[in-house]
Chains A and B, each alone.
Chain A
Amino acid sequence: MFTIVKKEDLSHDVHQMEIDAPYIARKAKPGQFVILRVGDTGERIPLTIADSDSNAGTITLVFQEVGKTTMIMGGLEEGDKLDDVVGPLGLPSHIDKLGLVVCVGGGIGIAPIHPVARGFKEAGSRVVSIVGARTKKLLIMEDEMEKASTEVRVCTDDGSCGQHGFVTNVLEGLIEEGNPIDLVVAIGPVPMMEAVCKLTKPYGIKTTVSLNPIMVDGTGMCGACRVTVGGDVKFACVDGPDFDGHEVDFSELRLRQRMYLQEERDAIETLTYMSE
């Protein structure tokens, strides 16, 4: 059992949870994730490690309520426990000292991009982070991103904060400024990552994405998370979750993420009905 030592609501349905998990905290590297489970009939879900503190022995997860499990988690308090947390899973992000790295975080994707940005900055790279959300109150971790980056550019779909537009608009502007970009790392909803890759491809800018397919075990034994990259089938949990964005079959990923849409809706309905 893994105790929630701190819980903060970042918006009405986005929460930040610090969890007591010393062995995971000790080993966690940027880009890695955990698989967790709540309750004895619970499902296993992956969440990227947004931060870790090996001295305190804790990891931080940031999640949005998108289904039954994340909704139940949203209702937990400090002192409550998660039944199972396993990690750190996946290959760590490849961090280097680069001239200019652009870290693009869309919506909830800002949380997993945070340790990546920080890693590159600590390695001596110049890090420009582009963070975007639909509206100001959905922007998360602004202070953390400031600390983790050389420069932060904010945008919102509705213009309530920062530039009025999408992260791709800001990125295009940055590319047009002319400074050579060594790497773009993009994390966020699939359509966002796909749009970033479409944008960078004609410029030949190397782009890494962090994929979030459905997972069950997270250690390479079931194949639920298989994605097609460069025509080959890869398991996101052991070969990724980072992949070369220009090689990813995003339309297949999008379809595969929808496999249990009906079951997910049914589960949410039951949960909502039961809590009324």
Chain B
Amino acid sequence: MPQQPADERRHNFDEVPYGYTPETAMLEASRCLQCKKPRCVAGCPVGIDIPGFIKAIEVGDFPESIRVLKESNALPAVCGRVCPQEDQCEILCVLSVKQDPVAIGRLERFAADWEREHGETRLPEVAPSTGKKVAVVGAGPAGLTVAGDLIVKGHEVTVFEALHKPGGVLVYGIPEFRLPNEIVEFEINNLKKLGVKVVNNVVVGKTFTIEELMQEEGFDAVFLGVGAGLPWFMGIPGENLNGVYSANEYLTRSNLMGGHDFPRFDTPLKRGKKVAVIGGGNVAMDAARTAKRLGAESIIVYRRSKKEMPARIEEIHHAEEEGIEFHFLTAPVRILGNDDGAVTGMECLTMELGEPDDSGRRRPVPVKGSEYVLDVDVVIVSVGTGSNPLLTKSTPGLKLNKWDYIEVDEKTGATSVPGVYAGGDIVRGAATVILAMGDGRMASGAMHRYLMGEPEPDEETEDETGEP
């Protein structure tokens, strides 16, 4: 896949891979063996007919390929770019035994981009109005999927978004060079063309409660896709010094608020000369690569080794190419500052790997006497996010699990409150875009049946239960 050379791309926010041309796409698609029993499909959280869409590309029928994709995946332009294909579909491809797997993700991206760039987007037909009103809370991947599924079934759909722009992590979290915001805007505009109303600047839990939405505003069903956006901090000394950011804040300032282009945009962002990012996931990679593009020396500080890093392989690879330094088996001890309250350095400790912990990964154990000071002026804490209690605390009767995520029926996404469904990170904890979309798809089916008074499939006789 031709891509921007690392020297060039570390100075801009343009996408890294250029994308396939129709010729290269068809060539790559022809590598697919069209297995009779395709193993890749089982790895896809939304069960895309992978050989099906790839075959269409191979023969040059791009509209057909996007049609097949959209049967299962509402936002293929997004997923083609951000799914961890190496853990899902591509890892199961038979070709991966001896060679590279079929580049499923890149082909998905190609089909979606082709459709958008050629103005070929065919909007689905909308069923006659059912007279039912649905509120979707959160305009992130889960919510947008539910909105798109239910609008075509004839329901009236309103998406409520707390921020001033819809998209959720797709716009505030994932940087332009991985997922251009204009792609997300394009998809959201398609939803609006179908009739979905998007209302920004509404915090459900503050501006309205769920009860008010259902009793007073007339919504018959509600989907909660509010994410798990509460940033975790480490609790080490110096974490409140000026120049210490949660990854959420750093990325929101840069991506959503245009901070990477201050002062053209009013929101400032400390670029720093030397930035340390604590963490090893995709968000940490995003933060480190953004810092690099903003002109800083950028260091990833991760307490385990490269093998244990949860980030997508392509992101780690791109980060290495862009010159980001990786300090593995290193943990921060305290952040140092001056009298003005600004960061001047970070004291770190070297670790070694001991026995595995609950996640199955080997637990890092400090090496005594191995302290050293990293000379940095910005520290980005990217150690995870959890449930924000803002909505859940204001909804009596909404059953939560011990980590304060919403408990739902595994098959339907239904919560303990009748008519209220949930999916995505607020149910799973911080996870992926595709899993959120899968949850949205599952919930939208159940919500439609609920609204129309139809029974759930397993309420029917055993004979009738089957694959959708």
Interface on A for B, CB 8 Å cutoff?
Answer: 23-24, 27, 37, 39, 41-44, 68-69, 83-89, 216-217, 219-224, 226, 228, 233, 238, 252, 255-256, 258-260, 263-264, 266-267, 270
Task: Take A89-B206, A255-B341 as given contacts and tell me if A220 and B266 are in contact as well, using a CB distance cutoff of 8 Å.
Answer: no
Inter-chain contacts of B245 with A (CB < 8 A) = 223-224
Instruction: Give 13 A-B contacts (CB < 8 Å), ordered by A residue.
Output: A83-B164, A217-B162, A220-B229, A221-B229, A222-B246, A252-B341, A256-B240, A256-B242, A256-B341, A258-B242, A258-B341, A259-B242, A259-B270
Q: 11 new A-B pairs (CB below 8 Å) besides A220-B230, A222-B246, A226-B240?
A: A23-B202, A41-B258, A69-B266, A87-B203, A88-B206, A220-B388, A222-B252, A226-B233, A233-B235, A238-B389, A259-B243
Inter-chain contacts of A266 with B (CB < 8 A) = 263
Within 8 Å by CB of B239, from A39, A83, A221, A233, lies A233
Contact A219 B267 (CB under 8 A): no
Contact A263 B262 (CB under 8 A): yes
Taken together as a complex, chains A and B put the C-alpha atoms of A84 and B208 apart, in Å, by: 17
Contact B239 A255 (CB under 8 A): no
Work out how many contacts link A and B, with CB atoms closer than 8 A. Answer: 115
Write the nearest CB–CB distance from A185 to chain B, whole angstroms.
Answer: 22
Write the nearest CB–CB distance from A114 to chain B, whole angstroms.
Answer: 21
Inter-chain contacts of B451 with A (CB < 8 A) = none
List 10 A-B pairs, minimum CB-CB distance, nearest first. Answer: A255-B341, A222-B249, A221-B229, A263-B268, A43-B266, A84-B164, A86-B201, A259-B242, A223-B246, A43-B267
Inter-chain contacts of A259 with B (CB < 8 A) = 242-243, 270, 341
- Judged by a CB distance under 8 angstroms, whether B248 is at the interface is yes
Q: How large is the interface on B (under 10, 10 to 19, 20 to 34, 35 or more residues)?
A: 35 or more
- Judged by a CB distance under 8 angstroms, whether B307 is at the interface is no
- Judged by a CB distance under 8 angstroms, whether B309 is at the interface is no
Contact A223 B206 (CB under 8 A): no
Interface residues of B in 217-254 (CB under 8 A from A): 229-231, 233, 235, 239-240, 242-243, 245-246, 248-249, 252-253
Write the nearest CB–CB distance from B148 to chain A, whole angstroms.
Answer: 24
- Judged by a CB distance under 8 angstroms, whether B390 is at the interface is yes
Within 8 Å by CB of A86, from B164, B242, B340, B390, lies B164
- Judged by a CB distance under 8 angstroms, whether B257 is at the interface is yes
Contact B162 A27 (CB under 8 A): no
Within 8 Å by CB of B252, from A24, A84, A88, A216, lies A216
- Judged by a CB distance under 8 angstroms, whether B200 is at the interface is yes
Interface residues of B in 170-226 (CB under 8 A from A): 200-203, 206-208
Within 8 Å by CB of A223, from B200, B207, B249, B262, lies B249
- Judged by a CB distance under 8 angstroms, whether B83 is at the interface is no
Within 8 Å by CB of B201, from A84, A220, A221, lies A84
